Amino acid sequence: MIRSIRLGRAPNCSSLGNVVNVLAWSQVAVGALWVAAESWRSRRSRPEPGGGETRAVDEPPALVRRGEKNGGPHEAHVQLTRACPLPCPSCHVSPEAKGESVPLPVVEARFRELSSQGVFHVAVGGGEALAYPELARVVEAAHAAGLSIGLTTSGRGRVDTARGFDQINVSLDGLGEVYERARGYDGAQEALHAIQRLAAQGARVGANIVLSRDTFPSLRDTVNAAVQSGARDIHLLRLKPAGRGTEPYLSRRLAPEQALQLWPLLSSLVEEFAGVSFRVDCAMTPWLAAHGVDPERMRAFGWTGCHGGDALVAVDVNGRRTPCSFVDVEPSSDWISPRLPEPCASCDYLDICRGGCHAVAQHLRGELLVPDPECPLVIAHG
């Protein structure tokens, strides 16, 4: 019996994404998908603990799981380079204009190893991944290893060379001055042109929008501009206190009242932009849980909260593995099954959410494995 269907491909090189649209589907539509999924053709499959199995499907892009347990990362975020000349103040990487890049043979070997360990998809990023000199060979290497591959980019650089990726997302945190304040340079038009060019060359292209107190008020306008330019996926990301983004985090993060507005706003965007796939990242799960969004529907669609080290692994330029791109620790079982106090301990979303964003908890509380201090349920618990 199919337990969960995780739709789409990872549109981002830093955090996991979850499709929001499915939360509004009728039970009839969900049932029809489950029936259809029985005949979807697999690209690859892997056994899971307890006799289960996960299948990677290309048409439509999806991970189909039978059984309850997950036996390791299905998605890897692979850093190709630390080189990027842009000044984005919230970048989680702290790149340098002449930062180092991973030699192609090393990239190829990392892809082969990840594939042999059961990973189905790699999302590559930087720095600015478009600055990587052999991008076409990176795509070839992923496909040769049986992996699908996504790319995250600012849109500055050789967009025409980004061919063959299964998914490309361009960062677009706002328009005009909002973009400039968020990213430290006036680049919204350049990003929109990149989306247009990528869509014109046939890529599945989306926009990554980092939510901050500055970018949130104009989110609808940003989504509209991205969609008009050809984006079919909108991926919303929570700001994280990492890299260059650590110091300005407190002044830039979403205000608590904005976080509570996210779910109603998302619901209206899904309705308004029919045919566009909306995703929120793993770190936003508490903000949906606070509205009582159906946890069974989330489970059915393989929703991942803080599943770093379990569903996800990050690999930096030096080959070091961490649970996700925002933390500087080794993957461990403590992370995968944290023992959390109330209100997480008895929360209906614990298995999905896993205590909210550990990167935020570490920054604000000095401990990784404690309840996310920005979860509205944690705030209400006191």
Pairing label, strands 148-153, 167-171:
parallel
Three state DSSP letters for the chain? CEEEEEECCCCCCCCCEEECHHHHCCHHHHHHHHHHHCCCCEEEEEEEHHHEEEEEECCCCEEEEECCCCCCCCEEEEECECECCCCCCCCCCCCECCCCECCHHHHHHHHHHHHHCCCCEEEEECCCHHHCCCHHHHHHHHHHCCCEEEEEECCCCCHHHCCCCCEEEEECCCCHHHHHHHHCCCCHHHHHHHHHHHHHCCCCEEEEEEECCCCHHHHHHHHHHHHHHCCCEEEEEECCCCHHHCCCHHHHCCCHHHHHHHHHHHHHHHHHCCCCEEEEEHHHHHHHHCCCCCHHHHHHCCCCCCCECCCEEEECCCCCEECCCCCCCCCCHHHHCCCCCCCCCCCCCHHHHCCCCHHHHHHHHCCCCCCCCCCHHHHHHC
Rounded CA separation 206/198 (Å): 10
Nearer to ligand SF4, 67 or 371 (CB): 371
C-beta closer to ligand SF4: residue 151 or 347:
347
- Closer of 95 and 286 to ligand SF4 (Cβ): 286
Cβ at position 123, least distance to ligand SF4 in Å: 13
Least Å distance, CB 250 to ligand SF4, is: 17
Q: Nearest to residue 249, comparing CAs of 259, 239, 258?
A: 239
Taking the least distance from each CB to ligand SF4, the nearer of 139 and 368 is: 368
CB of 13 to ligand SF4, least distance (A): 12
Helix 188-200 / helix 219-229 crossing angle, nearest 10 deg: 40
Toward ligand SF4, which CB reaches closer, 100 or 348? 348
Least separation, in Å, of the C-beta of 15 and ligand SF4? 4
| Minimal distance, residue 203 CB to ligand SF4, in Å | 25
Q: Which residues contact 45 (CB under 8 A, 6 or more apart)?
A: 53, 54, 55, 56
Find the shortest distance in angstroms from Cβ 263 to ligand SF4.
13
Residue whose CB is less far from ligand SF4, 124 or 324: 324
Q: How far is the CB of 352 from ligand SF4 (least distance, A)?
A: 8
Residue 10 CB, shortest distance to ligand SF4, in Å, is 12
Q: Which residues bind ligand SF4 (CB under 6 A)?
A: 15-16, 240, 282-283, 286, 289, 306, 308, 324, 326-327, 343-344, 347, 349-350, 353, 355-359, 371-372, 375, 377-378
Residue 336 CB, shortest distance to ligand SF4, in Å, is: 11
For the four alpha carbons of 123, 131, 99 and 146, in that order, the dihedral sign comes to: positive
Closer to ligand SF4 by Cβ: residue 5 or 357: 357
Cβ closest to ligand SF4, residue 155 vs residue 286: 286
Q: Nearer Cβ to ligand SF4, position 81 or 362?
A: 362
Least distance between ligand SF4 and beta carbon 112 (Å): 25
User: Residue holding tokens 């393989």?
Assistant: 302
Nearer to ligand SF4, 278 or 349 (CB): 349
